[in-house]
Every structure is written in structure tokens, then in C-alpha cells.
Amino acid sequence: MAPSLSTCPSFSILLLCISLSWTSATGEGEGGGREGESSDVLLNAHAILNTVGWGILLPCGVLAARYVKPFADPAWFYAHITLQIFGYALGVAGWVTGLNLDDEDAKGGNPDKHGAIGAILFGICTLQMLALFLRPNKDHKIRKAWNLYHYSLAASILILGIINIFEGFEIMSPPAKWRRTYIGILVALGGVAIMLEIVTWIYVCRKKRYSQVALHGATVGGTYQFEKGALG
């Protein structure tokens, strides 16, 4: 059964992040007005929130779904949705902040392209979050179609998120160390994914082979055992 909003406190954090970002970006609240606000603060907040949300937490959530599932069920599911919800919360907060940035602050790149990709990313990721509440049971007739929908959107989100982060680097022109740091994070995530892919395949293949042998029986002490688990 899909969890309800009341069982997902992370959505409260999502709403709080959006509210704080909107208040900060529009200059509302105590000490109102945008006078004295530093555009650099908003720009940095936009960059950090989006990079961590779209570019780090969401990929980590995908890794959890792909590689934790064979070893820890259903813990993988809760790790997956937790990372996705927090990633979405930070990403949306960063997107809302970005809506209030002036293109005049751009030092390069194409702000219009960056904004368009951001809007598409927000829309696709919002559809993906709805999957949390619309996920059919494993034996439901539309589960295969839902899986295709879910995996396709996940791939699109990862690709667009990473592309737009580098678009943001072009616009901000930060010190080279920040670009290199994010590239290093992507390389590390890729390395972890490759390592876990190998480990997972070895584990799954061995488990499958063991199950087949145990199912058909094995000779133990001169007798033929047909019970599952007889190899132990």
C-alpha cells in the first residue's frame, strides 16, 4: 500500500524549504524589501540547493533502489523514497529561488536555456513523485507499464539534472574547483555504481544457482533430499 501524505513528514520539510526560499527570494517577512539583499547569496543558495538536490541526492536514491533491493527488502524502499523526497525538496527550493534571479547577473552561458530545462525538470520530477502514491501492487496488470513509466522518468531526471547543473556552472562561472568537485562526485558515484553492479550480479547469480540446486534436491550422506535448503 502506498504511504499517505500524513506518513511522509519529509513533505513538511519540502513545503518549509519552498516557503523559506520564496520568502527569501521575494524579500518578504521581517525586515521586508529586497533592499540590502545580496544577489550573490540567492545565487549561491540556488546553486547549492539544486546541485545537492537534483545532482547528488536523486542519483543516490536511484543507487539505493537498484543495488540495495537484493540485500535489504523492504529497507531499500524506505531509503529510496527518503533520498528522493529530500532531493526533490531541495531541488524545488532551489528552483523557486532561481525564479527570482535576474539574467543580468549571468556571467556567461544561456540563462533562458537553463531556466527552460529547470522548468521541465521540475515538471517531470513532480510527476515522478506522484508515483509514490500511485504505485500499483506487484501483481497488478498495469505494474509493468508503471515500471516503464517510473524508470523512464528516472533516467530523464538524472540526465536533465546533471546537464542543467553544468549549464549553471557556465552561467555562474565559479572557481574551477567547484566544477572539478562536482565532476569528482559524479565519478565517485559512477565508480560505486559499477562496483555495486558487479557485486549484485554475483550475489543474484549465486542465489539463483543455489535455489535451483536446492529445489531439485542434492545428495547428502548417500540420501536424496528434496526439501528446499537441503544443501545446508
Going by the annotation, the residues of the binding site for heme b are 46, 80, 114, 150
Q: Indicate the annotated binding residues.
A: 46, 80, 114, 150
Q: Which of 207, 209, 198 is nearest to 67 (CA)?
A: 198
Distance, in Å, from the CA atom of 58 to the CA atom of 85, rounded to the nearest integer, reads 9
219, β-bridge pairs: 224
**46 Cβ contact partners less than 8 Å away, ≥ 6 residues apart:** 94, 97, 98, 101, 168
Largest Cα span, the chain: 88
How many CA atoms within 13 Å lie on the side-chain side of 72?
10
Helices first, then strands: H and E counts in the chain: 7, 2
